[in-house]
Chains A and B, each alone.
Chain A
Amino acid sequence: MTAPVIGVLALQGDVREHLAVLRDQGAQAVTVRRPEELAAVDGLVVPGGESTTMANLASRFGLLQPLREAVAGGLPTYGSCAGMIMLADTVLDAPAGQQTIGGLDVTVRRNAFGRQVDSFETEVEVAGVPGGPVHAVFIRAPWVEEVGPGVEVLGRVVGGAADGKIVAVRQGHLVATSFHPELTGDPRVHAMFVELVRAARARGLGSDGATAGADSEGRASRE
């Protein structure tokens, strides 16, 4: 079987780091800035960066609706930090009118841990990632305040002021983390996601998701 094609949304953010880890994990990693590029991938990563900037650019370049349709149509998607915000159905502490891709039934709070002086590193146990806790880097990071019934909590912060806050979730084909595994050299979160993409492609779901990006079926609803 050929390597799965995984796109990294390349409007802004730490795109290069995600591309490098995905390639190390055996994926064919490509950048996605246009609807036709989105239509050609088996999976998608929404990187860290500024969610307001990404949403703004996605909207101006006609990519937001195709992204919503692809994610709603089953395209396996992983979001780190700003990517988690982009995938969330509800965002708190965002500028009025900030749009997201949505699809992940969670409420996320932006900059929840504080400003940059509060950015930190710690260890987080992530369900589905074997081999001990993941070294997690949080940079002006969001956390998940509420999860819907179909959302599995994969990891929480342990200790400190933010003890117990949810920082890793999965809902079927969607995975999101508040932290940045792409910055640490630990490939295990990406490895889990690449496996998810392989499995989805084997079931033929990945190609449905990719097709959904190219036409207007399965309009994503935003409550």
Chain B
Amino acid sequence: MSQQHSESSDTTTGTVRVKRGMAEQLKGGVIMDVVNPEQAKIAEDAGAVAVMALERVPADIRAQGGIARMSDPDMVQGIIDAVSIPVMAKARIGHFVEAQVLQALGVDYIDESEVLTPADEAHHIVKTDFTVPFVCGATDLGEALRRISEGAAMIRSKGEAGTGNVVEATRHMRALRAGIKRLTTLDDTELFVAAKELRAPHDLVVEVARTGKLPVVLFTAGGLATPADAAMMMQLGAEGVFVGSGIFKSGDPAQRAAAIVQATTFFDDPAVIAKVSRGLGEPMVGINVDTLPESQRYATRGW
């Protein structure tokens, strides 16, 4: 095959399209928290589209307390070596050096996460500075658009990770959906005011109003524990789900992981959800969000 040889061929990495496009490939899938290579293999075999490498799942972070930080690079590397699916990892909010380290390790996506202890009380990471893409949490539309303007290529609800209680994720998904729907009803004059109220860039507000959706992929995270939880989030408009403690804190992780994957694909088919929900054993023990002291609420971290 003869091809003309051009050394000057324009090949670019780290573009907005490549970062957002990566999240498009994860749609309809389940991203699972794992703390070691064995769990990562179980997740991959169960049909996870990606794994989130972290040292402790949120339920243990809550139980043990202390400062939660980026994972040990050896642990992240071990998980990268163990699976062929994408590997994500968490950096503390505002901790741009943890993010630099994770990028150097070769992780495929960084979660700037409220589950870890924030490293900066005012500033999030400037994510446009990085080649690796970022996912960030949001409780409502304004927060989502602020993260996107900083360079987030994917958004997830915050929920209350580690509780096994889906109520906060539901609140965030409904708030995001309602916020988007409201923008589509406003005229050009009103969109200026909406941008001010949302504390979000006007151009992003206009884009959401025109398209009726976020400019990046929207997943759900926080408190999902059952196949029905995952399917409910998909019916509320999520394009995929993160499951943290819900899998490896349950009685039969492999089977529960596979069941949640199947319920996410067939989220609109109750017969399938019923079938995969049978015989899963014990779900994770939950925490009632109302009993959490304010200092232990993750959703209030980030701004």
Contact = CB atoms under 8 A, between A and B. Distances in A.
Contact of B4 (A111, A158, A180): A158
Interface in B44-92: 44-50, 83-86
B21 A11 contact: no
B13 A93 contact: no
B129 to A, nearest CB: 13
Interface in A95-154: 95, 110-111, 115-123, 125, 137-140, 153
B9 A117 contact: no
Contacts of A93: 84
B84 A14 contact: no
Listed residue (B11, B15, B45, B49) with the most chain A CB atoms within 10 angstroms of its CB? B11
A12 interface: yes
A50 B18 contact: no
A15 B28 contact: yes
Interface string A30-44: 000100000000000
Contact of B27 (A15, A33, A160, A184): A15
A160 B13 contact: no
A199 interface: no
A49 interface: yes
Contact of A159 (B8, B13, B133): B8
B3 A33 contact: no
A29 interface: no
Nearest to A166: B1
Contacts of B13: 117-120
A108 to B, nearest CB: 13
A137 B84 contact: no
Interface stretch (A53-61, A188-196, A209-217): A53-61
Interface residues of A, number: 49
A12 B21 contact: no
Interface in A79-96: 81-82, 93-95
Interface range on chain B: under 10, 10 to 19, 20 to 34, or 35 or more?
A: 35 or more
Specify which of B13, B28, B46 lies most central, judged by the most chain A CB atoms within 10 Å of its CB.
Answer: B28
Contacts of B107: 115-116
B262 A52 contact: no
Contacts of B175: none
Contacts of B108: 115-117, 140
A116 B85 contact: no
A163 interface: yes
Interface string B229-251: 00000000000000000000000
Nearest to B7: A159
Contacts of A13: 25, 27-29
Nearest to B14: A117
B5 A180 contact: no
Interface string B1-39: 101111111111111011001101111110000000000
Nearest to A153: B1
Question: Among B45, B103, B265, which residue has the most Cβ atoms of chain A within 10 A?
Answer: B265
Contacts of A61: 262, 266
A183 interface: yes
A76 interface: no
A17 B21 CA distance: 11
A206 B171 CA distance: 47
B47 A53 contact: yes
Contact of A95 (B9, B25, B84, B265): B84
B6 A159 contact: yes
Given A10-B28, A121-B18, 14 more contacts: A11-B265, A12-B49, A13-B29, A14-B21, A33-B266, A49-B28, A56-B45, A56-B47, A60-B258, A118-B13, A120-B18, A121-B12, A164-B1, A184-B17
Interface of B: 1, 3-15, 17-18, 21-22, 24-29, 44-50, 83-86, 103, 106-109, 131-133, 258, 261-262, 265-266
23 contacts: A11-B28, A12-B29, A13-B29, A14-B24, A49-B29, A49-B49, A50-B26, A53-B29, A53-B48, A56-B261, A60-B258, A111-B84, A115-B106, A115-B108, A116-B22, A121-B15, A121-B17, A122-B11, A137-B18, A139-B25, A153-B1, A156-B1, A159-B6
The 10 A-B pairs with the shortest beta carbon distances in the complex, nearest first, are A159-B9, A116-B108, A56-B47, A12-B28, A14-B24, A122-B11, A50-B49, A119-B18, A160-B11, A120-B13
